[in-house]
A and B are shown apart, each in its own frame.
Chain A
């Protein structure tokens, strides 16, 4: 991490800290105040958008560890999320376990499922690994429909009652917001810690050159599997929160298309950066909100007449593809790179960057 001139660490703890300067603490405090008070003064619309954004963020941060840090292509994140949702749902539905148990259990369930596909990463790379993880989507949907109805409800899915923690029932959007925001903050903090640790450095080494990493003593098999384990764990946590927000779990909710969106968020935000995952999630989610606003608006002003719905559908989906292509061509390091440039320019102002 680059720091403003004159700021340097004098102890190991200082060197290891995520937040080092007073302005950083101030910004962090302001951000936390904003996050915690947002639902109190914002409309239901903002709260709804933010809930889904937090849940998405957890899944995308997990994907960042898997794809951005370890370099393993993963197009099954949505399926892993689904496994987490079903695990949490089934544990709550059948055994009435508390959420402090079911949410981690959902993460572990998804992580074990993800690890199975991670094993393929030891043998195959790139395009072939992408195909393997796409298979996860179909295996997940097939399994959920075929397993005994008493387990996961087959095609009926699972319907859940509102969950509670320490006597607080999460039966309103505001309460759910605080639940998902709290979990998301913990998960993001964990991700930041992980990628700066020995494990994170091993993942980056494998991403950059797995043969070289093997030669210098990194257990490639272990760390590749671990990256899928961790990535899917995050997806599982996100799935559990999704299950408790919607209170209905159905395999059809976790589509391949969702996994593609998540990858798009990484590309736009920037690979290999937790902040990139956050920026990408926010930007793409806002883009999605714009799309959902744009359609009715066009109809309202009769701009749709003569344009087939299939063209609108195609054009809206092409928008995502277009954004990804533009970023790959013009800013392959994502928006986070732009952010870093702006930050550096500010720090050394008035000198040129």
Chain B
């Protein structure tokens, strides 16, 4: 009899203990967040830097806001090889394995593979890259942290025009390549110059030249740009193009500034050549925190990630900034959704709704991005767009605009 009582008491005690443990676990709801990455494809080198950043930001969020809210986000990386067919093949598996409430995308290959099916799959996907004109569509489940390349570049072009009133109309030349993405940027900027800037006497297009994507030499194209007396050259879309452009400029002994994205010209060239001097006075623009600024709040946040989450200072780069901004927006989107529906009822639909429910403030985004306000008419924030411009001054990579610079609001689809 005593033995039976002891057994019953033991079972009861065990139940209490297990319930307690269960309560502890029940306090945290876990969600898997798939990341479409590239481990063995053409962008593997780039993504190698992205992966630790994704992990660091999610670990930071789990330790801070996630802990307070009772949610843990667990990252799971997939190798999409930056190949639409691979991504299309693996996506149904991702859906069944992770049941994702949100995902991080890699770039154009997964946009192509997933864009049409996401509204039915109910998974919002966040991207760290800027957008192309052909991606400017309403009711998307894709969300880009940055606006169109065209909007970013026009913001910088307007700033350049305002800096040089003596040059009006500013003579703009294109040096680009004939791949779909680069052509899209050329078409968008060209349309805006022809329809808006030229009638106002602010700028005019004087040359449009194309090279290979990775040219060995661009001297003949650059000669035409020089002959057109260009004030600024837009369109350089790869570091190889930047390198060929600089070589041609040195050959002709000219220095016409270029305007490009940070990951295309000054930064990669400087890293490879250990000097920024050939790009003296050239400009890069992006709608995220400036890499050249290590005294701001964005870098302060990155420093936390370095100190506590295993990142290193080498990762503070334009390409890594895409992963950083993407991750920060993703965790904040989840956070907004938790505030709406609670930690246990999170779903893709809830996160999607949260994307539009309230703006993501600059403070929330850890100053890596300006305040973002998404609407259903575009997959990117199309309101109060702002950019930061960087340049090379006295051989040093510096911020040209310490404050955010607004971009034109009258850019129309092309």
Contacts and interface: CB of A to CB of B under 8 A. Distances in A.
B3 interface: no
A291 B97 CA distance: 18
B81 interface: yes
A48 B88 contact: yes
Contacts of B39: 292, 294-296, 298-299, 304, 309, 312
Contact of A288 (B42, B76, B86, B95): B86
Nearest to A78: B85
A313 B85 CA distance: 17
A44 B45 contact: no
A233 interface: no
B116 A246 contact: yes
B163 interface: no
B51 A299 contact: yes
A310 B38 CA distance: 11
Nearest to A177: B92
B180 interface: yes
A353 interface: no
Contacts of A15: none
Nearest to B95: A44
B295 interface: no
Contacts of B85: 52, 56, 242, 253, 258
B48 A304 contact: yes
B60 to A, nearest CB: 19
Contacts of A171: 120
Interface stretch (A66-74, A152-160, A342-350): A152-160
Contacts of B45: 308-310, 313
Interface string B72-103: 00001111110011101111111111000000
Interface in A36-73: 43-49, 51-53, 56
Given A155-B134, A299-B77, A313-B45, A246 B112 contact: yes
Contact of B113 (A155, A246, A288): A246
A291 B40 contact: yes
B293 to A, nearest CB: 27
With a 10 A CB-CB cut-off, give which of B45, B108, B183 has the most chain A CB atoms: B45
With a 10 A CB-CB cut-off, give which of A52, A56, A251, A317 has the most chain B CB atoms: A52
Nearest to A50: B89
Nearest to A145: B180
Interface string B53-87: 00000000000000000000000111111001110
A293 interface: yes
B277 interface: no
Contacts of A247: 116-117
A313 B38 CA distance: 9
A150 to B, nearest CB: 14
Nearest to B117: A247
Binding site secondary structure of chain A: helix
Interface in B94-138: 94-97, 108, 112-113, 115-117, 120, 133-134
Contacts of B37: 295-296
A313 B44 contact: yes
Contacts of B120: 171-172
Contacts of B47: 309
Contacts of A48: 88-93
Contact of B88 (A245, A250, A296, A308): A245
Interface string A264-301: 00000000000000000000000011011111101110
B77 A296 contact: yes
With a 10 A CB-CB cut-off, give which of A295, A296, A298, A304 has the most chain B CB atoms: A295
B77 A44 contact: no
Nearest to B44: A309
Interface string A66-103: 00000000000000000000000000000000000000
Interface string B318-345: 0000000000000000000000000000
Interface in B207-234: none
B77 A173 contact: no
Contacts of B10: none
Contact of A295 (B79, B113, B134): B79
B230 to A, nearest CB: 25
Nearest to B187: A155
Contacts of A145: 178, 180, 183
Given A155-B184, A250-B112, A310 B44 contact: yes
B43 to A, nearest CB: 8
A218 interface: no
B180 A251 contact: yes
B93 A312 contact: no
A214 interface: no
Contacts of A294: 39-40, 79
A250 B113 CA distance: 10
B46 interface: yes
Contacts of B41: 313
A335 to B, nearest CB: 22
Nearest to B52: A299
A317 B81 CA distance: 11
A284 to B, nearest CB: 12
A308 B39 CA distance: 10
A188 B120 CA distance: 32
Nearest to B46: A309
A311 to B, nearest CB: 9
Given A51-B89, A313-B44, 11 more contacts: A45-B90, A47-B92, A48-B90, A145-B180, A159-B116, A292-B78, A292-B86, A292-B90, A296-B78, A296-B79, A313-B40
What 7 pairs between A and B have smallest CB-CB spacing? A295-B39, A45-B93, A48-B92, A44-B96, A309-B44, A247-B116, A156-B134
20 contacts: A43-B93, A44-B96, A44-B97, A45-B93, A48-B92, A48-B93, A51-B92, A155-B134, A156-B134, A157-B134, A171-B120, A250-B112, A252-B180, A292-B78, A292-B80, A294-B40, A296-B78, A298-B39, A299-B77, A308-B48
